[in-house]
Amino acid sequence: MKASVTRTLSEDLSAAFPSLAELEPGISDIIADHAAPLSLPAGRMVFEIGQSCERFLLLQSGSVRVHLLNDQGHEIILYRIVRGETCILSTASLLSRTAYTAYAVTESEVTAIGIPQSIFHRLMAHSDQFRGFVFAAHARRLTDLMGVVADVAFIRIRVRLARCLLQRADQLGKVEMTHEAIAVELGTAREVISRNLKILEREGYLTLGLGVIIIKDPRAMSDHTKREFDP
């Protein structure tokens, strides 16, 4: 029975994380013997600020949002974790043995595999392939975060807002997001989002409703963001 469960866990890992199929002999067995499958509903807290990291999560399905919150209560979504990805903050917390500095919540139902802290350190010490996998994922996410920092620092909020709306719109140009949710997404205040949405509405790019935004002409709005961003 245990051999069957171990084999299934290894197969599930390889399906979501193909690079883990190349682990050294015996390493996959260590993961399968000690890792535990996890299932979380939408809206569940994955980790909180100040909490220590007890396991290294490998996401198999669903989506997790990672939020940074400041002392004034403002927050920004740093990144999302989806199938085949790991969390850079979990990696940092495990390697430095420090607490989380952000929090994460599931956006949808999530399935994952959790590797206990002690086993994670054992794998990092004895498996070149696993260590390479962890650091490669870490480097990719750092690159993404540099993009977030660059956007916040150098791109006007109206351009970022328009891009966010275009990305979230359905085929009819409808975006079902509150002003507060957009503010969290972009790391600014709700009042700033509301003010800029009204400007875009006056300029004829969109129509505002209760909890919904209709983009009248996605192509025109896309062209608008390019003009706003040009020096």
CATH number for 139:
2.60.120.10
100 and 177 belong to one structural domain: no
189 and 131 belong to one structural domain: no
Strands 45-47 and 36-40: unpaired
168 and 70 belong to one structural domain: no
Strands 213-215 and 206-208: antiparallel
Range of the domain at 47: 2-153
144 and 82 belong to one structural domain: yes
Which of the listed residues 153, 184, 206 is the one where a domain comes to its end? 153
Cα separation, 153 vs 84, whole angstroms: 29
> Alpha helix locations (H) across the chain?
2-16, 27-34, 88-96, 117-126, 128-154, 157-168, 179-186, 190-202, 218-229
77: left (phi over 0), alpha (psi -120 to 50) or beta: beta
81 and 55 belong to one structural domain: yes
115 and 203 belong to one structural domain: no
55 and 120 belong to one structural domain: yes
Cα separation, 117 vs 2, whole angstroms: 22
What backbone torsions phi and psi does residue 82 show, to the nearest 5 degrees? -125, 180
Six-digit token pair at 91? 């990696």
Say whether pTM exceeds 0.75: yes
At residue 186, the pLDDT reads 92
Cβ neighbours for 178, distance < 8 A, ≥ 6 positions apart: 211
At residue 2, the pLDDT reads 45
94 and 8 belong to one structural domain: yes
Cβ neighbours for 99, distance < 8 A, ≥ 6 positions apart: 49, 50, 51, 52, 53, 93
Which of the listed residues 134, 153, 172 is the one where a domain comes to its end? 153
Which CATH number does the domain housing residue 213 bear?
A: 1.10.10.10
The tally of domains found in the chain comes to 2
143 and 100 belong to one structural domain: yes
* Residues in the chain, pLDDT under 70: 1-10, 227-231
Residue-wise pLDDT for 131-184, tens only, equals 999 999 999 999 999 988 888 888 899 999 999 999 999 999 999 999 999 999
Q: Euclidean distance between the first and final Cα of the chain, in Å?
A: 65
200 and 221 belong to one structural domain: yes
126 and 199 belong to one structural domain: no
215 and 149 belong to one structural domain: no
Strands 45-47 and 103-106: antiparallel
Which of the listed residues 95, 129, 153 is the one where a domain comes to its end? 153
